[in-house]
Every structure is written in structure tokens, then in C-alpha cells.
Amino acid sequence: MVLDSQSAATAHGVQSRGYKLAGMAALAYSLVIIYASLQPFVDWRALDPFGNFLLAPWPRWITVDDIVFNLAAYIPLGFLLATSLRARRTPAAAAMIAGLICAALSLALESVQQYLPARIASNVDFLVNTCGGVGGAMLAPLFSPGQRLGHTLVSLRNRGFVSGTPGDAVLVLAGLWLLTQLHAPIIALGNGDLRSSIGWVGLLRYTPGTYLLAEAGVVMLNVTGFGMLLASAARDTGTGYWRALALLIAGACTLRAAAAALLLRTENSWSWLTPGFGLGLAAALVTLLALIRVPPRVRAALALFALLAAVVLVNMIPENPYRPVPSYLLAGGAGHLLNFAGIMRALSDIWPFLAIAFLLFSLPARHRNGQY
């Protein structure tokens, strides 16, 4: 009887942790969608009567890419919302509420886009976004912590990372970091490049040597910062940690190649694997090997420093005239429709700031609680 009670309590704890983790991920992803939908944040003015787009004629031309991207953008949100709502609702009720939230968010954002000349409010976007959110919500029960697959995933999380909000937040950030690789920044792994959004011009002059060192520095600082962020919440930094880091880096490279092939449509999807990237990655691994033994609180401080330095450097580097990137992915007015590429670009822009904000809030809390 005691063993049954303990097993039930453990199962309830695993489910509760999974629901909270999904809720944090849903909030972070919602912020990314909002950012992507409303950028650039300039020239606000009334263009059409409020809600006029809902009654607009059906567009004559609808591309398959637009439909696929809009569906893909809201499927994760519906999935995460439905999973988090399972803490207090039945699977059917959670899926229904999640679908309604996705529809309300899409409607609100499309309505606000009526006041942005660089964006286009579309009834088709609203419909497709809603369908994506509902579809993601209907998939959620298959991965809920109460199911075998969901239970296994949450158990792996509990074995590898510290319990509570710090571990959950780091895992959410790690998942978002992977998704940022579906964007195509100037430098691979170069998240936080805001120059196209704010009109900033790089401070460094382009020369082959300067660009090589800058590229290596951006990669080294970003990988070091990400690795230390992951280590700050790891239960240990042994074989399991290095295996997880290797899988995440391999996954990031695979997604980066997929973005090059599907979005940029380059002939060689691995052309971004430059000498600067290789030098930066090697330097990051050496740095992590040297610093990984420090206490977790120090790891968090080092992650904060590395990510801050990476953001500064990536916004200073010059354009590479020999490796242009399509303007529809990087220009300030890119993506008049809320599509998958636009959301990944927004996520790449703000990910370092999400990580930095988490580290700034977590460091004082760890000190007060006497942790590490």
C-alpha cells in the first residue's frame, strides 16, 4: 500500500512537472509569435476600418508555402497550450480551450496588423493559423505526461536536470535555441542580430581576416554561452551532459542545413560550414572543457557574460559581400505574411535576450537560497 502511494505520488509529480514545462514553453513561444507578427514596430497608423480584413474577398492567389508556413507556425503553440491545460482540464476540454486561445491570438494580431503598413491583415492567415493551433492541440494527448511517451520524456528530464523552475526554463530555452537554427542569420549560430530590425550598421570594416575572426568569435561565444547555460541546470557534467550537448549541436547543424535547403534553396546546404565556424566551435569546446568544473552558479554567470558578448559582437560584424542572404529573410520588412520563416527570424532575434533575462533573474535567487 505504501509503495502504491509512493508510486502514485511520483507519477503525479512527473505529470505536474510536464504540464508546467509545457506552460513555460507556450508562454515563450507566444511572445515569439507576437514579436514576429508586429515587426517592424514603425509607422503605426489606421489603414482600414477595424476588422475589415475579415470580410475582405477571398484572395485570388494563395500559395502553398503561405499555407504550410502558417500552419507550421501555430501547431507548436496549440500543442503546448493543450499540454499545459491538461493540469486542470480533460484532454477534450484542454484541446478545445487551446484551439480557442490560438484563434483569439491570431485574430488579435491580424487586427493589430491593420495599423502597420509593412504588414498585411488577412482572413486567410487567421483561418490557417486557427487550423494549425487546433491541429496541434489535438496532437497533445499523445505526448501528455500521463501517456507512456510523455512519461518517458519527463523522466529523462528529471534524471538529467535539476528540479523546479530553473531546470524547466533551461530546457525551454534549449528547445527554442534549436528552433532558431531554422533561421538563416549572417553567421551560423549568430542569434541576436538586430541590425536589420533597428537599422544598425556594423562597426567593423570587412576584410577576409577580420571576418574570419569575427565569425569564429560569434560561434565560440554563442556555443560557450549555450553550453554553460545548459550546464548551470545539469545534475552533473559527466558523460550525460556531453552527450546531450553533442546531440543538441548536431541537431542545430542539421536544422541549419534544412533551412539552407528549404528556405534559401541553396545548391549546397552545407556551405555555411566555413573555416570560421569550425574554428569557433573548436574554441568553444576547449573553453567548456576548461570551465565546466566550476560551481553551477558560476556557470550561469559565465553563460550570461558569453551571451552578452556574443550579442555585442554579432551586431558589430560587417556584411560579407561574398555570401549574400536573401532579403526576404533578413530585411526589416521581410515577410508581409506571418509565416514560419518570419517566426524563426523573430526567435533568432530575441533568443539571447530571453536567456539573458532568465540568467539575470536566476542568479540573485540562487544566491539568496544558498544554492551551489
Q: Is the confidence at residue 156, as pLDDT, over 80?
A: no
Cell numbers at residue 365, please? 535567487
Residue 338 confidence (pLDDT):
42
Mean pLDDT calculated for residue range 317-321: 68
* 65 against 371, higher pLDDT: 65
What Å distances lie between residue 188 and 134, 271, 304, 352, 369, CA to CA?
A: 33, 10, 20, 14, 37
- 11 pLDDT band, cuts 50/70/90, is very low
pLDDT of 29 over the 90 cut: no
From residue 220, give the alpha-carbon distance in Å to each of 225, 288, 342.
Answer: 8, 10, 26
Mean pLDDT (whole number) for 73-97: 88
Grid look-up 559581400 returns 321
Banded model confidence at residue 366, pLDDT cuts 50, 70, 90: low
Q: Please report which confidence band the pLDDT of residue 337 belongs to, taking 50, 70 and 90 as the band edges.
A: very low
Predicted confidence (pLDDT) at residue 369 exceeds the cutoff of 60: no
The pLDDT score that the predictor gives to residue 321 is: 57
Residue 333 confidence (pLDDT): 40
Instruction: Map grid coordinates 541576436 to a residue.
Output: 192
Q: How far apart are CA 185 and CA 317, in angstroms?
A: 12
- Over range 53-66, report the average pLDDT: 74
Hey, what's the cell of 105?
A: 491570438
Does residue 80 surpass a pLDDT of 60? yes
Q: Check residue 38 and give its pLDDT.
A: 81
Most confident of 200-204, 214-218, 286-290: 286-290
- Measured CA to CA, the distance from residue 178 to residue 176 in angstroms comes to 5
Backbone phi, psi, residue 192, to 5°: 85, 15
Q: How much is the pLDDT for 37?
A: 81
Q: Which of 30, 161, 49, 151 is nearest to 98 (CA)?
A: 30
Is 147's pLDDT higher than 80? no
Q: Which three cell numbers stand for residue 198?
A: 533597428
- Three cell numbers written together for 188: 551560423
Residue 319, helix vs strand vs coil: coil
Q: Please say if the pLDDT value at position 50 is more than 60.
A: yes
Compute the residue count for the chain: 372
CA distance 162 to 165: 9
Task: Render pLDDT for 252-262 as a digit per residue (tens, 0 to 9).
Answer: 888 888 877 76
| pLDDT over threshold 70, residue 212 | yes
Higher pLDDT, 186 or 347: 347
In percent, the amount of the chain with pLDDT more than 90 equals 24
The per-residue pLDDT for range 271-308, each reduced to its tens digit, is 778 888 999 999 999 999 999 888 888 999 999 999 99
CB < 8 Å & 24+ apart, contacts of 107-113: 109/33, 109/34, 109/37, 109/38, 109/338, 110/53, 110/338, 111/50, 111/51, 111/53, 112/37, 112/38, 113/37, 113/38, 113/338
What are the pLDDT digits (tens) for 226-253? 999 999 888 888 888 898 899 999 998 8
β-partners of residue 13 are none
pLDDT averaged over the chain? 78
Cross-strand bridge partners of residue 161: 234
What pLDDT, on the 0 to 100 scale, is given for residue 98?
94
pLDDT level of residue 332 (50, 70, 90 thresholds):
very low
Q: Which residues have a Cβ under 8 Å from the Cβ of 312 and sit 6 or more positions away?
A: none
